[in-house]
Amino acid sequence: MTDLQKRGDRSPVPTDWTYAPAPESTDIVRLQERYGLYVGGEWLETKDQFTTIAPRDESPLAEVGQASEADVQNAVAAAREAFKSWSKLPATERAKYLFRIARILAERSREFAVLESLNGGKPIKESRDVDLPLAAAHFFYYAGWADKLEYAYPNRSPKPLGVAGQIIPWNFPLLMLAWKIAPALACGNTVVLKPAETTPLTALLFADVCRQAEVPPGVVNIVTGDGSTGAHLVRSEGIGKVAFTGSTEVGKAIQRELAGRDISLTLELGGKAANIVFEDCALDQAVEGIVNGIYFNQGHVCCAGSRLLVQESIHDQLVRKLKRRMSTLRVGDPLDKNTDVGAINSKAQLDRITELVQAGTDEGAELYQPPCRLPEKGWWFAPTVFTNVAQSHRIAQEEIFGPVLSVLTFRTPDEAVEKANNTMYGLSAGIWTEKGSRILWMADRLRAGVVWGNTFNRFDPASPFGGYKESGFGREGGRHGLEAYLRFE
């Protein structure tokens, strides 16, 4: 073993090995000073505005409209009007629009990726290689289903629901838009979409894609604003469907609001996924999967592998390897092509992460962060791992939604299942073992919508995604994802 390896194994300190900056230019993005709402194919002014900023340096990017109740009603009315003809369009024609949107997204992907990183804080490497290709793939995928609904549901006469009110979060702004809009339009619905207040810009740029694709006015409407705008949308008369991705707290409020109304609902809420590592796994691969599972997108991921369950016999070795790997993560400017961990999306989210990490220390878990220099402006949180975590700790129960991993141990597969399921959530899980039969045995027993075997955070438009328990209900993606936007006679 060389000196370097020895040193790296004990204390991860190669901080003097820096990369030269490799910033992606922002020239390709042309921002307006001020944006209205995209309603009925036109831009409408709002009475109130708010400023949207860049989390990497808190600099203002643009003024964005705060949609009022009347603005939301307007958008729903435009969507209802458009529904009359859009739902009657031959399905092959609807498919053409979706194919066009997919192609334009692919053509303009660099522009969208830069804007996504600028407004949301995620590394350009991720928006370029994950968010954009997947968003385009979603439109391609659902374009293919548009004229095959009768085959997907033989003898069941699938019909669209009407206007879909869609509310999305800030962690995957454009991708969540694609998950919502593509299946809705493919099934013949029209939409009113509300992006999150901290990340409205790619949704507003998407309005320009709709213009370019000549999507008929009113089929896609984008209303910006905070939670009150979302609440107006949920309460509005004239919608046939609500699709929400966000916190469990707001999901519950929406479900209460819709009780007794004939409105179809899907909820995709939080998670506290177990990433379960057995002693016979390929350890270095597992370490990569653990890092990807929790530090991808700063851990702002509902299906993040935030609870690491390690078989006791390999605990020390795995933690040593993990810490060493963490010391090589580059934290900093989201627009730098070398960045692995970007900016925290908002001050509020940073405060929430900080509070939960403090609780972890207070409750007796052991914290480790690799040495890294965080930029002075903007919002940042160093990659963090907690060892000596008990199941009762807040950091083992609550969704942190940041780059913070909690490590727990188990001895037997039964114990792993029990601990993995000991949560109010049930969105995803990961299993690392050489034994295929064990993966199947575990997957059968885990109460999680998605179970990954020897991988993590893998997405494909053809594969359904969704939760159990307080992670929500309904599935997005795949043929299952169509059902959320259809009724059957």
Which residues form the interface with ligand NAI (CB under 6 A)? 167-169, 171, 194, 196-197, 226-227, 230-231, 234, 245-247, 250, 253-254, 269-270, 302, 349, 352, 399, 401
DSSP 269-287: -----EEEE-TTS-HHHHH
Ranges assigned E (strand) in 179-257: 190-194, 220-222, 241-245
Nearest distance in Å: CB 171, ligand NAI: 5
Q: Which of 126, 302, 470, 483 is catalytic?
A: 302
Q: Tell me if 241 sits within 8 A of 248, measured CB to CB.
A: no
Region of 58 please: left (phi>0), alpha (psi -120 to 50) or beta. left
Question: Measuring CA to CA, how many Å separate 310 from each of 56, 318, 319?
Answer: 34, 8, 9
Nearest distance in Å: CB 127, ligand NAI: 16
Ranges assigned E (strand) in 168-271: 190-194, 220-222, 241-245, 264-268
Question: In DSSP terms, which residues pair with 119 in a beta bridge?
Answer: none
Residue number with CB closer to ligand NAI (81 or 398): 398
Tokens of residue 298, six digits: 């700063």
CB burial of residue 411 (10 Å; 0-12, 13-18, 19+) = exposed
Question: Whole-angstrom Cα distance, residue 380 to residue 37?
Answer: 31
Residue number with CB closer to ligand NAI (233 or 416): 233
Strands 163-167 and 404-410: unpaired
CB burial of residue 151 (10 Å; 0-12, 13-18, 19+) = exposed
Residue number with CB closer to ligand NAI (287 or 404): 404
Q: Which of 24, 116, 126, 268 is catalytic?
A: 268
Q: Where are the alpha helices (DSSP H) in 53-172?
A: 69-86, 91-107, 109-120, 124-126, 132-145, 149-152
User: Is residue 268 flagged as an active site residue?
Assistant: yes
Question: Measuring CA to CA, how many Å separate 283 from each of 218, 311, 321?
Answer: 52, 12, 9
Question: Whole-angstrom Cα distance, residue 481 to residue 323?
Answer: 39
Nearest distance in Å: CB 292, ligand NAI: 17
User: What's the farthest any 2 CA atoms get from each other in the chain?
Assistant: 72
Nearest distance in Å: CB 402, ligand NAI: 8
Q: Where are the alpha helices (DSSP H) in 121-172?
A: 124-126, 132-145, 149-152
Nearest distance in Å: CB 465, ligand NAI: 11
Nearest distance in Å: CB 316, ligand NAI: 31
User: Is residue 398 flagged as an active site residue?
Assistant: no
Name the residue among 101, 113, 85 with its Cα closest to residue 26: 113
Name the residue whose CB lies closest to ligand NAI.
230
Q: Tell me if 279 sits within 8 A of 313, measured CB to CB.
A: yes
Nearest distance in Å: CB 341, ligand NAI: 17
Residue number with CB closer to ligand NAI (171 or 457): 171
Nearest distance in Å: CB 172, ligand NAI: 8
Tokens of residue 338, six digits: 């070398």
Residues carrying an active site annotation = 268, 302
